[in-house]
Amino acid sequence: MNIREQIEEREALLLSPYAAKSRDAIRDIEEAPDPLRTAFQRDRDRIIHSKCFRRLKHKTQVYIAPGDHYRTRMTHTLEVGQIGRTVARALRLNEDLVEAIAMGHDVGHTPFGHVGEYALRDMVGHFNHNEQSLRMVEVLEKHGEHQGLNLTTAVRDGIVGHTGATIPVTLEGQIIRIVDRIAYLCHDFDDAQRAGMLTAENLPFEVREHFGMTPSSMITAMVEDMVRESLDKPVISMSSDIEMTMNLFRQFMFKNVYLAPALIPDRNKASHVVKNLFTHFMEHPDDMEGCESNREFYSTRDVVDYVAGLTDQYAIKLFKQYYIPNITL
Ligand SMILES: Nc1nc2c(ncn2[C@H]2C[C@H](O)[C@@H](COP(=O)(O)OP(=O)(O)OP(=O)(O)O)O2)c(=O)[nH]1
């Protein structure tokens, strides 16, 4: 029995009956199994080694071009992975699957995060970052000579289902859906204090009562509740009290941070950059880097993929190049 087979054996013996087992993982194109790593470990590694993953370092979470101690999409992704693994291990679910989904969930985010997402949606009518993350790993990234990373169905289902109407099939995917929120609320609260936008005293009373006043106590309260509620159950959930408090915390963060007047000028500039770049590349597709010179036709989809894939700084550089060379961003 090779090492991978031993790990698969341990999964079958030790994991919860509700856990996804890597032995059962399915890929569209069959591959020879790895001697050391399970299918989900391999998916995680494939995502971490991809270009779209590296670009997360240069994409906004909340603040555009902040200081070095603020979160980017990369640190957010790592924090989702860490919290997700804690929950998965506590529930005897598949940690490797949770980690793979976490690493891939935001690779489709546009430059400037949600602002870029809304700007592209305004231009083309339909654009969601979770669908773009799926497209990134299925179509836009390459694995060897092949188009797409050929990830397992469980990882792809978790990536596209991390937000939006469709709930993931696996409990591991359901963990990411909740943990993504826990991670961003707590780390954005931390960054907002760093930016002087608010203090812990500003938090609603119920949040202070249930979660405490530090990012760490907040994560602990939500994670422990999630584990307690989901233990030995075929679904991942939170108690109604904690879920309500979390929603209150989320409303507070939208009002005081995400949609705060102080961030509006930066959000407007970012939206302007994305919309103008989109218009520019629709009119001049030859300016898209890496475009094939012999190709006659570029579709709207090609331009959306190109603009969505840009990092913040690269988008700003291109904007300056094609539009206003002296804008301050
Ligand atoms: N939803 C939203 N998030 C924003 C906005 N501006 C900044 N953010 C930040 C707050 C969080 O750090 C992060 C939330 O976006 P994510 O892509 O991480 O989460 P997602 O939209 O998948 O989560 P959700 O299902 O809406 O809780 O983006 C905004 O206008 N809307």
ipTM: 0.91
pLDDT of residue 151: 98
Q: Which atom from ligand 1 is nearest to the alpha carbon of 259?
A: 30
CB 189 within 8 A of CB 141: no
Q: Which atom from ligand 1 is nearest to the alpha carbon of 118?
A: 30
- Tell me: the pLDDT tens digits for 131-190? 999 999 999 999 888 899 999 999 999 999 999 999 999 999 999 999 999 999 999 999
Establish if 276 belongs to a structural domain. Answer: yes
Residue whose Cα lies nearest atom 27 of ligand 1: it is 181
- Tell me: the pLDDT tens digits for 47-67? 999 999 999 999 998 977 778
Establish if 161 belongs to a structural domain. Answer: yes
Establish if 31 belongs to a structural domain. Answer: yes
Residue whose Cα lies nearest atom 25 of ligand 1: it is 163
pLDDT of residue 293: 61
- Tell me: the pLDDT tens digits for 67-112? 888 999 999 999 999 999 999 999 999 999 999 999 999 999 999 9
| CATH number of the domain within which 232 lies | 1.10.3210.10
CB 318 within 8 A of CB 275: no
CB 46 within 8 A of CB 151: yes
Amino acid at 241: D
Establish if 329 belongs to a structural domain. Answer: no
Q: Which domain holds residue 36?
A: 3-323
Give the whole-angstrom CA distance, residue 289 versus residue 33. Answer: 36
Instruction: Report the domain count for the chain.
Output: 1
The model carries a pTM of 0.96
Establish if 220 belongs to a structural domain. Answer: yes
On the 0-12 / 13-18 / 19+ scale of CB atoms within 10 A, 219 is buried
CB 121 within 8 A of CB 127: yes
Residue 228 Cα to ligand 1 middle (Å): 26
Residue 114 Cα to ligand 1 middle (Å): 6
Establish if 83 belongs to a structural domain. Answer: yes
Establish if 296 belongs to a structural domain. Answer: yes
CB 188 within 8 A of CB 205: no
Establish if 328 belongs to a structural domain. Answer: no
Question: Beta-carbon neighbour count of residue 247 at 10 Å?
Answer: 11
Residue partners of 264: CB distance under 8 A and separation at least 6: none
